[in-house]
Amino acid sequence: MARAGYVPAERPITICPQRIWRGLLGSLAAMLLAQGCAPATVVQKPSAAVVNDLEQGKAAVALIQIRTVVDGKLDRSTDSNLNIRLYFANVDNRQPPQRLTLQALSAASAADGWAYVTLATGSYYLLMLPPGVEQNPPAVVFHAPSARYGRLTQYKFDPGRGGFWSSNAAAFIVSGARPQDFQEIPGYWFVVPPKSPVIYLGSVTVNCSSGKGLFGNLIGTCSDFSVSSAAEDAHRVAITAFPNAGAIGKAALISYGKPATPARPLLDSPIALSFAPPGGLASAEVGALAAAPTGVIHGVSREIGLYNLLALTAGGMSRAIARSEAQRRSSEIQPCVEKLSKEFLSLGAAGAFTRAFAVALPRGGVSLGGRGDITPAPAGASDQPSYTLTGTPERVALRECGSAAQFCLELAMRVRVVETSSGLIVYDSTLLHSSEFLPLDPLDHGAHLYERLLPTRSPCVPLATWCGEGGIDFLKEALNAGAMGIAAQYIRDISSP
């Protein structure tokens, strides 16, 4: 059961008509088409099939309390623009984030902000967007070049500052430079453990101020989310529907990219390193082939994201031409990629990552075996590893970047750290060594929302550099640079408060 109890909201997300009159009519007219107003939370207890999954330990009801405060007053409006949006992604399954319809166990608990979703066991990424996504000018936008949502911290009644409305992303898109007051929203991670039928994620509060529009009030700015604990209240809510659930499990929301344990134990304790080797070098991602057929249009010397669905008809021919050209160029360079892929296996990528992490970690790390695994010391030994760090390659590929016929090595590595004594996951993040993000639809290609691009970038070089006589040497240098960059980012993550 990969998606127990998921209740995805229909896309595009429901927009209330009164929201349109608070922005510019022309820019938001498309948002009215075939839309109604749906409640933010639906009172509905888990079905018999879901309860069966809960009893078998395959899933959990995840309780969360959500409160929006506007100008110092708790908001209970059903206006979709004032709701906090929640997007969940099962990282184990590489799912793109899905906006889920929140459910409540009772009307009384819903009135106090209590809601739940039913999730399969595993590791999750949670993106929460504060109010003000649907208005114009928006209080929240998606910045395509960095593949991140962000708050706009200074309210300005400038309807053009939010870029353009995307029906498929259900948000405003900025495709150029970040606005100066753009504050990135990083998201959270948490783990749904097995055999915990009910878990509590936390109580989330966001404080917002209002702003004035032409036809009514808008959201001005919102604070960062505040996550607190109300475990006793969560227990009271849970036992009304699950009187035999016992203790409520705690699945704390942790800022994505941060550890669930203090930094010093991770830095000072012996750690086992285990890196799985990549299967090879994936085929080069060229132009329009790097995205879905409806996700790109032909731009100046490269492919650019197509978010504005109003341009679908006009852009149809351009997309067809772009994909045809990309397929032709991909076929031309495939012999080079196949040659590099065979040679790549001889480089020992797992060993490269093990060496990079052993150098970066204060206590180093001992690696035994061709895969870069470590053999734990006997029980009772003073240097027995307290943690095990595993690295799983999610993507290793050449990707077109910069101008046409230039490529970079792209490495996406999921890094997890497990505490030996408890088996608890204390760090889980996907780190990306590349030249840049592709400007893709954040929900269709949502993995980018939980892939974190390193500050040190993979260089874009002509294809001849990769395919020439010294191509394998250049590939080795690029692999080592990527491994060291990912190791350095892990150290920054666990060292910073």
Compute CA distances 169 → 10, 43, 46, 75, 397, whole Å.
12, 26, 29, 25, 27
The larger pLDDT score, comparing residue 189 to residue 286, is at 189
User: How far apart, in whole angstroms, are the C-alpha atoms of residue 431 and residue 421?
Assistant: 26
pLDDT at position 427 is 96
Q: Tell which residue, 92, 87, 205, 101, has the closest CA to residue 142.
A: 87
With a cut of 60, say whether residue 46 has pLDDT above it.
yes
| Burial letters 467-479, b for 16+ CB under 10 A, else e | beeebbebbbebb
pLDDT digits (tens, 9 = 90+) for 137-171: 889 999 888 889 999 998 887 777 777 887 767 78
Please report which confidence band the pLDDT of residue 365 belongs to, taking 50, 70 and 90 as the band edges. low
Alpha helix (H) residue ranges in 437-470:
463-467
As to burial, measured by CB atoms within 10 angstroms (0-12 exposed, 13-18 middle, 19+ buried), residue 263 is: middle
- The share of the chain scoring above pLDDT 90, in percent, equals 36
pLDDT value at 194 more than 80: yes
Per DSSP, which regions of 248-289 are E strands? 249-250, 254-255, 271-275, 282-285
Question: How does residue 205 score in pLDDT terms, banded at 50, 70 and 90?
Answer: very high
pLDDT of residue 42: 82
Cis amide linkage into residue 439, ω under 30° from 0 = no
pLDDT band, residue 90 (cuts 50/70/90):
very high
Average pLDDT over residues 16-43: 41
Length of the chain: 497
Which whole number is the average pLDDT over 387-392?
Answer: 92
Q: Tell me the C-alpha distance between 92 and 110, whole Å.
A: 30
pLDDT at 118: 92
pLDDT value at residue 343: 84
- Report pLDDT digits (tens) over 434-448: 998 877 777 776 678
Which candidate, 210, 204, 18, places its Cα nearest to that of 112? Answer: 204
Total Cβ atoms within 10 A of residue 118: 23
For position 68, what pLDDT does the model report?
Answer: 93
What tens digit of pLDDT does each residue of 284-314 get? 555 544 544 334 322 222 333 333 333 333 3
pLDDT of residue 383: 61
Task: Give CA–CA dist 387/20, Å, rounded.
Answer: 52
Instruction: Give me the percent of the chain exceeding a pLDDT of 70.
Output: 76
- Residue-wise DSSP of 317-375: HHHHHHHHHHHHHHHHHHHHHHHHHHHHGGG-HHHHHHHHHHHHSTT-----STT----
Q: Name the more confident of 408 and 36.
A: 408
Are 242 and 104 a contacting pair, CB within 8 Å?
no
Contact indicator for 51, 29 with CB cutoff of 8 Å: no
Least confident of 13-27, 131-145, 423-437: 13-27
Higher pLDDT, 57 or 26: 57
Closest CA to 167 of 29, 290, 18: 29
* pLDDT range class, residue 318, cuts 50, 70, 90: low
Which SS3 state, helix, strand or coil, does residue 199 take? strand
pLDDT of 185 reads 92
Query: Quick one: tokens of 327?
Result: 């397929």
Looking at residues 102-122, what average pLDDT do you find?
91
Given a cut of 90, is residue 214 above it in pLDDT? no
Give 217-254 pLDDT, tens digit per residue: 689 999 999 999 999 999 999 988 888 777 788 888 99
pLDDT for 364 beyond 50:
yes
**Mean pLDDT, residues 460-471:** 88
To the nearest whole number, what is the mean pLDDT of the chain?
78
Rounded to whole angstroms, how far apart are CA atoms 115 and 105? 7
φ, ψ for residue 107, nearest 5 deg: -65, -35
